[in-house]
Chain A
């Protein structure tokens, strides 16, 4: 016996899909293998569009929007599990000079090469994202402090070994600076705060001369001698007053 189908809420024949299909075609995404405009086919188109809107067109990496979602999820996960997770943020050194000297097409090649090198340097479970022009971020779940240092250094090194051919007979060496911060374990925190902390380390890496990785120091050496000096020098001064 044939079940009675409920009346469809939308008439798929009336949907205007030209732009969506054009976008997918341009991105080289394959269309779903199903009867056109059937439910399964529409679902496939939506999935392909979601995938398209979460990736960066130039590198194929996760884009900023999707990265922010992944980062929030990781903050929640770390707060629950107490596992240590590392956020690395990196920036191609002197990238403006590449664009200015060799043109934007050369710049794009450099970005693509760096994206590929970074991807090779991390584990498949890590999320590598292009979050800005020449800026990338990596979320590394279940990453102990000692491993964090190693992987940040490996990323730096693998990029520094690149020779990007930007024109016939013209290869460029590239370096990156990295900053990293671990998510505070167990406590309720925010993705924004985590990004800020990693960014601060990136500025430090840039300020210390680039082509290096700076991770936020562990909490053990929390109060420096300089801070102590100020804390107590002033106490004595004010007591004399």
Chain B
């Protein structure tokens, strides 16, 4: 398949290996997959070659968000029924996806086979893209932690809801202590008013300083990479199962996602 090279490319020097970014959240339902898909579209619009890997193997829903009905999924690659080449599909928004397919419950436990396959796949796709985004599952199971450990950067998506903040904090804590992460990006989704993102970030940073930094050789730095206000455009695009960047590119939320993409490319 030649689709991979057919994507819009920007002239100039390319990285030899893709940036890898894991998008995670702790709690589910905070818009993690929404952010991942639209961020991928925003990066693609900047001329970056982007692959989204659906690392939410147990309960994947990137296909639902993108309204794709893939014939070939990661499962086929894992079982050697299809090549990796065939499983990398073009998605709306100008990026590529490797979908897990919904309900592959057999991968909700990390076995050495799944682990090796994922490692192989990451190594194979890295030289061919500028960005590989890993959409991880909710929670902090071993699958999620393993998927995150494959990426050099982490973006935690949280909302100002107490349960989301608690789970985001738990995720940050585990990443700092178990994976030596000292720099973690934060996107605050579904804020009521602008500025709330900064409040959430400061709260989290404060508790991290008090309870997590103690005993670590270097403190953990949380960087607020953006905030997205919940608006009708977001709700409408999600309901229609289309990318916000495509249906409401001028909306405030779309601008916020573009700003996030710009920040990541700095």
Residues on A close to B: CB < 8 A? 80-82, 184-190, 193, 196-197, 200, 219, 222-224, 226-228, 230-232, 234-235, 238-239
Contacts and interface: CB of A to CB of B under 8 A. Distances in A.
B174 A222 contact: yes
Contact of A187 (B145, B199, B215, B217): B145
28 contacts: A80-B112, A80-B115, A82-B111, A185-B142, A186-B110, A186-B115, A186-B149, A187-B148, A187-B179, A188-B179, A189-B178, A189-B180, A193-B178, A193-B180, A196-B215, A222-B174, A223-B169, A223-B173, A227-B169, A227-B211, A230-B206, A231-B165, A231-B203, A231-B204, A232-B165, A235-B200, A235-B203, A238-B199
B247 interface: no
Contacts of B11: none
Contacts of B166: 223, 228, 231
Interface string B197-226: 001101110110011000101000000000
B-side interface size class: 20 to 34
Nearest to B111: A82
Interface string B143-154: 001101100000
Q: Which 8 A-B pairs have the closest CB atoms?
A: A187-B149, A184-B178, A222-B170, A186-B146, A188-B149, A230-B207, A231-B207, A223-B170
B30 interface: no
A231 B180 contact: no
B112 A196 contact: no
B99 to A, nearest CB: 22
B239 to A, nearest CB: 30
A186 B113 CA distance: 12
B145 A186 contact: yes
A199 B75 CA distance: 42
B112 A81 contact: yes
A200 B169 contact: no
Contacts of A222: 140, 170, 173-174
B162 interface: yes
B124 interface: no
A75 to B, nearest CB: 12
B203 A184 contact: no
B115 A82 contact: yes
Nearest to A231: B207
Nearest to A226: B211
A219 B110 contact: no
Given A222-B170, A231-B207, A200 B215 contact: yes
A230 B200 CA distance: 12
Nearest to B146: A186
Nearest to B110: A186
Contacts of A197: 177
A197 B176 CA distance: 12
Contacts of B203: 231, 234-235, 238
A205 to B, nearest CB: 14
Contacts of B207: 227, 230-231, 234
A239 B112 CA distance: 47
Nearest to B215: A200
A65 to B, nearest CB: 22
A119 to B, nearest CB: 30
A70 B166 CA distance: 37
